[in-house]
């Protein structure tokens, strides 16, 4: 590890290497695909920055534009408008007419499909980017050896990719991505072809490697747990756009929209009508009772149709009869033991809700129970807000 750290690539020139400037910067990026079915706006005015050493994860559903964004940064796709800088150097600018090809962007990429050369040995695959960078041949072998050891494949230099498991091949792809030590690695769902155990182990190894080497990464996944585990910050994507960008806990606790609240983690939704605004809070009348919660953007007019939203763990089991704000009664329909807690399906009126409680809460199915919810754990959004 120290060998890699001790051999930084000469970055030279007017770039961001010596400063805190972002390693990757995307500004107002738009990409439209013309297809037989018509125009599809795959990216609509997307902006983000990846700081030095940062792991930024793009999390979003299938087809929202994650791969397209990554391919634009890599230079494999030409955007319609916007700007991209890597290491402070402009690699794409529609206004200035700049487009640098992938090999001149000083970054590496790891794909879902490993993308190794089948006719080359593991060692030759990893040496490939170093040869392209014209690293002196005497330096190549020790560097290949170092990264192979880092990914736990010290004895595999002369093996061929076809003789290895998926997890091992992805380790080779990882070694190839970090061997040139360019400082920026793009990942497109690199673990999604692997089984759960291997995926989790590689995830931990990836984190360790990132800490040790200090590269910046833009990492695409549609797996929430993976995003939470790997990200310094997460950009939650909707179709062609970034719906919210922030730390994982911030996104979970303070979703800025119904879309984000529903995409990240589980949420309960109750429909109602706005009664009043009260500073950062709003009061909403619903068939389950009156609720006070944190008002999201565009919650303003009395009588507005509203969705009140809360996480399963936000509901607290109470002994007494619901009387005031933020309480509701519900019938226990189904209980599932999940090791550390119980997950209950309860029904209030006609509304099914999911709540989680400590595993000591033994109650028979069919019992009527009372719950309260802290106003700070309730989010309130306009009902007409798009949820995709
Ligand atoms: N070369 C292309 N030609 C036409 N449409 C394309 C092309 N590449 C992507 N698209 C469309 O752009 C949209 C975004 O695709 P993209 O591959 O970026 O999605 P994604 O978020 O990576 O999805 P997934 O999670 O399934 O990989 C999709 O609707 C896709 O059909
Ligand atoms: Mg994709």
In contact, 16 and 88? CB cutoff 8 Å: yes
Burial class (CB in 10 A: 0-12, 13-18, 19+), 343: middle
Beta bridge partners of 110: 187
| The pair of three-digit structure tokens given for residue 381, joined into one six-digit string | 């959004």
Sheet containing strand 108-110, strands side by side: 108-110, 184-188, 216-221, 55-59, 233-238, 241-246
In contact, 83 and 92? CB cutoff 8 Å: yes
Closest ligand to C-alpha of residue 63 is 1
Helices (H), 40-81: 66-74
Which of 34, 35, 42, 222 has most ligand 1 atoms within 8 Å of its beta carbon, as the pocket-test mutant?
Answer: 42
Helices (H), 254-300: 258-263
In contact, 206 and 43? CB cutoff 8 Å: no
Q: CA 122, CA 169: separation in Å to the nearest integer?
A: 9
Architecture per CATH, domain 269-382, reads as Beta Barrel (2.40)
- The per-residue pLDDT for 321 is 66
Say whether pLDDT at 210 is over 90.
Answer: no
Say whether pLDDT at 11 is over 70.
Answer: no
Q: Ligand 1 site: residues with CB under 6 angstroms?
A: 33, 35, 40, 42, 60, 62-68, 222
Distance from the CA of 68 to the center of ligand 1, in angstroms? 6
Q: Which atom of ligand 1 is nearest to the CA of 77?
A: 1
Residue nearest (by alpha carbon) to ligand 1 atom 7 = 33
| The pair of three-digit structure tokens given for residue 80, joined into one six-digit string | 């319609």
In contact, 129 and 209? CB cutoff 8 Å: no
> Residue range 93-97: average pLDDT?
97
In contact, 74 and 186? CB cutoff 8 Å: yes
Residue nearest (by alpha carbon) to ligand 1 atom 9 = 68
Residue nearest (by alpha carbon) to ligand 1 atom 11 = 42
What size, in residues, is the chain?
A: 388
Among residues 99, 59, 70, which one has the least CA distance to residue 82? 99
Q: What is the pLDDT of residues 232-273, one digit of tens each?
A: 999 999 999 999 999 999 999 999 999 999 999 999 999 999
Say whether pLDDT at 60 is over 50.
Answer: yes
What percent of the chain clears pLDDT 70, i.e. is strictly above it? 94
Q: Which atom of ligand 1 is nearest to the CA of 68?
A: 18
- The per-residue pLDDT for 195 is 87
Q: CA 75, CA 373: separation in Å to the nearest integer?
A: 49
Q: CA 133, CA 353: separation in Å to the nearest integer?
A: 57
Helices (H), the chain: 2-6, 66-74, 122-132, 137-150, 166-179, 196-213, 224-230, 248-253, 258-263
Q: What is the pTM of this model?
A: 0.88
For residue 6, the number of C-alpha atoms closer than 13 Å in the C-beta half-sphere is 7
Residue 173 binned pLDDT confidence (cut-offs 50, 70, 90): very high
- The per-residue pLDDT for 19 is 62
Closest ligand to C-alpha of residue 68 is 1
The structure tokens 């009126």 sit at 349
DSSP code for 321: P
Instruction: Report helix, strand or coil for 85.
Output: strand
Say whether pLDDT at 56 is over 70.
Answer: yes
Burial class (CB in 10 A: 0-12, 13-18, 19+), 59: buried
Residue 13 binned pLDDT confidence (cut-offs 50, 70, 90): very low
Which of 67, 193, 219 has most ligand 1 atoms within 8 Å of its beta carbon, as the pocket-test mutant?
Answer: 67
The structure tokens 């756009």 sit at 241
- The per-residue pLDDT for 212 is 86
> Which of the pair, 5 or 235, is modelled with greater confidence?
235
Say whether pLDDT at 14 is over 50.
Answer: no
Q: Give every CB contact of residue 177 below 8 A, 6+ residues apart in sequence.
A: 108, 109, 110, 185
Say whether pLDDT at 164 is over 50.
Answer: yes
Domain 2-107+182-253 has CATH 3.40.50.300: yes
Distance from the CA of 76 to the center of ligand 1, in angstroms? 13
Closest ligand to C-alpha of residue 69 is 1
Buried b (16+ CB within 10 A) or exposed e, 286-317: bebbebbbbbbeebeeeebebbbbbbbebbee
Q: Would you report the helix, strand and coil content of the chain in percent, each value rounded to 5? A: 25, 35, 35
**Domain assignments of the chain as residue spans, ordered by start:** 2-107+182-253, 269-382
Buried b (16+ CB within 10 A) or exposed e, 220-259: bbbbbebbbbbbbbbbbbbbbbbbbbbebeebbbebbbbb
Q: CA 312, CA 295: separation in Å to the nearest integer?
A: 19
Residue 2 binned pLDDT confidence (cut-offs 50, 70, 90): very low
Ranked by mean pLDDT, which of 15-29, 121-135, 235-249 comes out on top? 235-249
Residue nearest (by alpha carbon) to ligand 1 atom 8 = 68
- The per-residue pLDDT for 184 is 95
- The per-residue pLDDT for 16 is 46
Q: CA 194, CA 38: separation in Å to the nearest integer?
A: 35
Q: CA 21, CA 129: separation in Å to the nearest integer?
A: 26
Q: CA 156, CA 147: separation in Å to the nearest integer?
A: 12
Closest ligand to C-alpha of residue 31 is 1
As a whole number, the mean pLDDT across the chain is 90
Q: Which atom of ligand 1 is nearest to the CA of 222?
A: 25
Distance from the CA of 388 to the center of ligand 1, in angstroms? 16
Q: What is the pLDDT of residues 269-318, one digit of tens each?
A: 999 999 999 899 999 999 999 999 999 888 988 899 999 999 999 999 98
């Amino acid at each position: 590890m120290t060998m890699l750290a001790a051999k930084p690539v000469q970055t030279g020139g007017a770039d961001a290497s010596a400063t805190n400037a972002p390693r990757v910067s995307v500004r107002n990026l738009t990409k439209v695909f013309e297809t037989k079915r018509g125009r599809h706006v795959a990216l609509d005015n997307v902006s983000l920055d990846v700081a030095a050493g940062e792991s930024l994860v793009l999390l979003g559903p299938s087809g929202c534009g994650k791969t397209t964004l990554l391919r634009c940064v890599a230079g494999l796709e030409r955007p319609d408008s916007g700007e991209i800088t890597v290491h402070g150097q402009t690699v794409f600018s529609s206004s200035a007419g700049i487009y640098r090809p992938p090999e001149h962007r000083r970054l590496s990429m790891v794909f879902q499909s490993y993308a190794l050369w089948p006719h080359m040995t593991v060692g030759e695959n990893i040496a490939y980017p170093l040869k392209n960078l014209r690293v002196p041949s005497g330096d190549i072998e020790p560097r290949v050896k170092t990264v192979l050891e880092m990914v736990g494949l010290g004895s595999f230099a002369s093996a061929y990719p076809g003789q290895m498991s998926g997890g091992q091949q992805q380790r080779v792809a990882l070694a190839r991505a970090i061997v040139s030590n360019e400082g920026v690695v793009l990942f497109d769902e690199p673990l999604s072809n692997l089984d759960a155990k291997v995926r989790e182990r590689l995830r931990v190894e990836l984190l360790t490697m990132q800490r040790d080497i200090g590269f910046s990464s833009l990492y695409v996944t549609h797996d929430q747990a993976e995003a939470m585990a790997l990200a310094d910050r997460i950009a939650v994507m909707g179709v062609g756009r970034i719906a919210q960008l922030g730390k994982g806990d911030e996104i979970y606790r303070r979703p800025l929209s119904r879309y984000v609240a529903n995409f990240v983690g589980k949420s309960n939704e109750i429909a109602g009508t706005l009664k009043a605004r009260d500073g950062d809070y709003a009061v909403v009348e619903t068939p389950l009772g009156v609720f006070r919660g944190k008002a999201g953007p565009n919650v303003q007019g009395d009588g507005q149709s509203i969705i009140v939203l809360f996480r399963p763990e936000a509901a607290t089991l109470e002994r007494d009869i619901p009387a005031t704000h933020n309480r509701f009664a519900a019938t226990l329909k189904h209980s599932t033991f999940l090791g550390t807690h119980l997950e209950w399906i309860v029904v209030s009126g006609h509304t099914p809700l999911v709540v989680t409680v400590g595993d000591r809460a033994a109650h028979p199915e069919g019992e009527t129970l009372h719950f309260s919810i802290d106003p700070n754990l309730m989010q309130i959004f306009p009902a007409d807000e798009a949820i995709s």
